[in-house]
Structure 1
Amino acid sequence: MALQEEFKEYAEKAKFLPPTTKDSDKLALYGLYKQATVGAINTNRPGFFSPTERAKWDAWKAVEGKIKEEAMTDYIAKVKQLQEVAST
């Protein structure tokens, strides 16, 4: 399976992670997804009064510099890890 197709498949699977998934894991997925689909972060950091948007921005910034394929591979691995944790 091509990496792009597998990435899309796991992006769909990520929508069905259990509600008990930690926010830190969701943010890690968000950052990897944005890096894989958009590339380098292209916005200014949100202000203090937008904590959710700021956390998302920080998660994306944390993976800045990863190439698209690396971000996709890391995203797939993270979803697989979270699925395993959910099934135990």
Structure 2
Amino acid sequence: MNESFERAVEEVKVLHQRPGYGVLADLYGLYKQATVGDVNIDRPGMFDLAGRGKWDGWHAKKGLSKEEAMIAYIDLVEDLKKEYGFTKTE
């Protein structure tokens, strides 16, 4: 599982198009949930829009196990590869 997750982390970096902010928040949230677990920091202040978006994406995944988050991340990256195309990194 970890090998597939690590491959997905690399593949998302070479998509032919950048996903929208909602998808990026989902990716970030799933990544943090898979690698750290439940959100463990305070929500950034109102002037840190990017930080708040990332925090919200991570907080939305609260309660998922690390394994569930990895599977969801891999599945999302596979969907993005089909939608946007990607450059193989191997």
Cα displacement string for residues 38-87 of structure 1 (whole angstroms, at most 9, x for unaligned residues): 11101000010100000000000000000000000000000000010114
**Segments ≥4 residues shifted beyond 4 Å:** none
Offset of residue 17 of structure 1: 1.7
1:46 to 39, 44, 47: 44
Aligned to 1:13: 11
Give the aligned length. 85
Partner Cα distance (1:51, 1:11) in 2: 24
Percent identical residues: 44
Which structure 1 segments of 5+ residues have no match?
none
**Which residue type is aligned with residue 71 of structure 1?**
A
After superposition, the CA RMSD in angstroms is: 0.9
Q: How does 1:72-87 map to 2 (within 5 A)?
A: 72-87=70-85
Partner Cα distance (2:28, 2:16) in 1: 16
Instruction: Give the TM-score, by structure 2 length.
Output: 0.90
1:65 to 63, 66, 69: 63
Range with greater deviation from structure 2 (21-30 or 52-61): 21-30
